[in-house]
Amino acid sequence: DVKKETLGFQTEAKQLLHLMIHSLYSNREIFLRELISNASDAIDKLRFAALSDDSLLEGQGDYRIRVDVDQEAGTLTISDNGVGMSREEAVEHLGTIAKSGTAAFLENLTGDQQKDSQLIGQFGVGFYSAFIVADRVEVHTRRAGEPADAGVLWESHGESEFSVEPRARAERGTSITLYLKPDCTEYADDFRVRSVIKKYSDHISVPVEMLKPATPAAEGEEEEQPAAPEYEAVNEATALWTRPRNEVSDDEYKAFYSHVSHDFDEPLTWSHNKVEGKLEYTSLLYLPKRAPFDMWNRDMARGLKLYVQRTFIMDEAEQFLPLYLRFVKGVVDSNDLPLNVSREILQQEGSVESMRGALTKRVLDMLAKLAKKGGEDYAAFWKEFGQVLKEGPAEDFANKEKIAKLLRFASTHTDKPEQDQSLEDYVSRMAEGQEKIYYVVAENFNTAKNSPHLEVFRKKGIEVLLLSDRVDDWLMNHLGEFDGKPLQDVARGALDLASESEEEKAAQEQLQKDSEGLVERLAKVLEAQVSEVRATARLTDSAACLVVGDHDMGAQMRRILEAAGQ
């Protein structure tokens, strides 16, 4: 039987710890939010497990988080009666980082304190934030349903190692004691700690309690035996999404966002809705300001936090939103689903399908509203998530039109690389008689902008969208048209530019005749390389260009397949 054991932090954990301590110092009060958030998660997990096995509650079903301060000792202790941890779990969860994208995140760090603190925030601060204010942390924990002597004491000075040893614990759950650094003793002050809890943890649905201030015995009253210490809730302790919209402040919405998203930044915007009728549910959906590191990683954590009648069921419920909206964070609380719902059941439930449809519309509406508002916000959204949204028309045919309105492109109208022109903008500028929306696809913006295919369009003053993202070819193929106007790749097939006058047509015919001989000779020479040679009016300065047949694969698509070894 193992007594005390000293173990090293995983390399990534060590790096993160070190960075956290040095980069987040000016924002150090958030450690309390993180530890209370973990306590609340632990209680949610137990509440859920107890649905199928109520012996786990050990006869004590009043959930609470307690925060105790000891000014003399310079300590702060956060205790919860949640699910607790076994020895193995403590070693695993508090000694390693299991998150996907960790390596990529660490590579992105620059050493610039300001930038790095942003990045760490996006990555998720978590348990290690305790070491911003403490030079020693003790975690005393026991898993719910285990005997008292299964308790463990985890301890670390936040450098390279930690220790674990058996330590009996009568109560289930976890107590985390921070031995505060000399310049952080404000967090042993009752008043200061209360105000930080109010600020960050008001929305936590379990009570966060602190000792009631002692009331001095009134005069003439007999000195009584000191009573058992009494605790009182410091936070509001109702689930934020259950409250009416007009009673929740922006600051509360923002604080709740950091709880559900682990994001350090504020959200870009949110949408809070209660739906009644055939289906009853409440949703609170947020758009983040920044893309997570692992947005292009197949196992990126995505989905909503699912509750059924206020009871937490699971994180990352993926069934409620399509993949192209995977950046959305938030909560959905259903009144219709059974409490014992599993991921498998979610996939078959008809009501989930309806909710998914409605929530998708909500997000698209939220985006449309943001776009309509104008200004920086939509541009910021597009820069971070535009490429993901471009997956939409292929995945979600039913909402193709709505998504199309949200797309932004670079265009010859501005000739700038910023993707800030909508298809509606383009259509509003179309000349009389122009029937198609023209675009060119290239490897990068500059190549697109300087494409010889554009010469005739520039000459005639016809706008062309300049596309250079990997998904663009694919996107345009799925989109097909917008507002009844076909989308036309200028590098494909023959061009029949509308505004051609009789004169131009005659000139074109003449050109065809004059070139017959040359075309024939070229076709012979290039037989193995091209399928056809045509005389064209589409070039004004260049002598020749390559075009792709109407039904051939786009040049960009071909490159993607080539890269994939096809």
Q: Which residues bind Mg ion (CB under 5 A)?
A: 38, 126
Judged by CB under 6 A, the chain residues 71 through 90 that form the site for ligand ADP are: 80, 82-85
Instruction: Compute and round to an integer the Cα radius of gyration of the chain.
Output: 31
99 annotated among ligand-binding-site residues: yes
How far are the Cα atoms of 238, 367, 420, 439, 505 from residue 457, in angstroms, in the given order?
61, 32, 20, 10, 16
Among 95, 121, 126, 392, binds ligand ADP (CB under 6 A): 126
Question: Is residue 158 within the footprint of ligand ADP (CB under 6 A)?
Answer: no
- CB under 6 A: which stretch of 122-130, 228-236, 241-249, 441-449 binds ligand ADP? 122-130
Q: Which is nearer to ligand ADP, 81 or 421 (CB)?
A: 81
Q: Which does 387 bind (CB under 5 to 8 A by kind): Mg ion, ligand ADP, none?
A: none
N-terminal to C-terminal alpha carbon distance within the chain: 56
Question: Is residue 93 within the footprint of ligand ADP (CB under 6 A)?
Answer: yes
Q: Which is nearer to ligand ADP, 262 or 408 (CB)?
A: 262
Q: Which does 93 bind (CB under 5 to 8 A by kind): Mg ion, ligand ADP, none?
A: ligand ADP
Question: Is residue 305 within the footprint of ligand ADP (CB under 6 A)?
Answer: no
d(CA 149, CA 210): 27
Q: Which is nearer to ligand ADP, 34 or 469 (CB)?
A: 34
Among 95, 121, 124, 386, binds ligand ADP (CB under 6 A): 124
Tell the smallest beta-carbon distance from residue 94 to ligand ADP (Å): 6
Among 39, 197, 204, 490, binds ligand ADP (CB under 6 A): 39
125 annotated among ligand-binding-site residues: yes
d(CA 489, CA 436): 10
Q: Is 333 exposed, middle or buried (0-12, 13-18, 19+ CB in 10 A)?
A: buried
Position 416, amino acid: K
34 annotated among ligand-binding-site residues: yes
Residue 378's SS3 state is helix
Position 295, amino acid: M
111 annotated among ligand-binding-site residues: no
Q: Are 319 and 313 in contact (CB under 8 A)?
A: no
What is the b/e burial string over 290-319, where b = at least 16 CB atoms within 10 angstroms of the residue's CB?
Answer: bebbbbeeeebbbbbbbbbeeebbbeebbb
Among 31, 123, 127, 200, binds ligand ADP (CB under 6 A): 127
Q: Which does 315 bind (CB under 5 to 8 A by kind): ligand ADP, Mg ion, none?
A: none
Q: Which is nearer to ligand ADP, 65 or 476 (CB)?
A: 65
- CB under 6 A: which stretch of 37-45, 240-248, 506-514, 539-547 binds ligand ADP? 37-45
d(CA 113, CA 293): 19
101 annotated among ligand-binding-site residues: yes
Q: Which does 174 bind (CB under 5 to 8 A by kind): Mg ion, ligand ADP, none?
A: ligand ADP
Q: Which is nearer to Mg ion, 38 or 261 (CB)?
A: 38
How far are the Cα atoms of 64, 408, 477 from residue 486, in angstroms, in the given order?
60, 17, 11
Among 23, 174, 261, 488, binds ligand ADP (CB under 6 A): 174
How many residues touch ligand ADP under the rule CB under 6 A: the total is 17
Q: Which does 158 bind (CB under 5 to 8 A by kind): Mg ion, ligand ADP, none?
A: none
Three-class SS string for 46-98? HHHHHCCCHHHHCCCCCCCEEEEEECCCCEEEEEECCCCCCHHHHHHHHHCCC
- Please enumerate in sequence order all residues whose Cβ is within 8 A of that of 471, keeping only pairs 6 or more positions apart, or say none: 387, 390, 391
Count CB atoms within 10 A of the CB of residue 214.
10
480 annotated among ligand-binding-site residues: no
Nearest Cα neighbor of 211 from 236, 228, 187 is 228
85 annotated among ligand-binding-site residues: yes
How far are the Cα atoms of 17, 28, 450 from residue 364, in angstroms, in the given order?
38, 36, 34
> To the nearest 5 percent, what fractions of the chain are helix, strand and coil?
40, 20, 40
Give the phi and the psi of residue 564 in degrees, each rounded to 5: -85, 5
Question: Is residue 42 within the footprint of ligand ADP (CB under 6 A)?
Answer: yes
Question: Is residue 17 within the footprint of ligand ADP (CB under 6 A)?
Answer: no
Binding positions for ATP are 34, 38, 80, 85, 99-101, 122-127, 174, 343
| Chain residues in the site for ligand ADP (CB under 6 A) | 34, 38-39, 41-42, 80, 82-85, 93-94, 124, 126-127, 174, 262
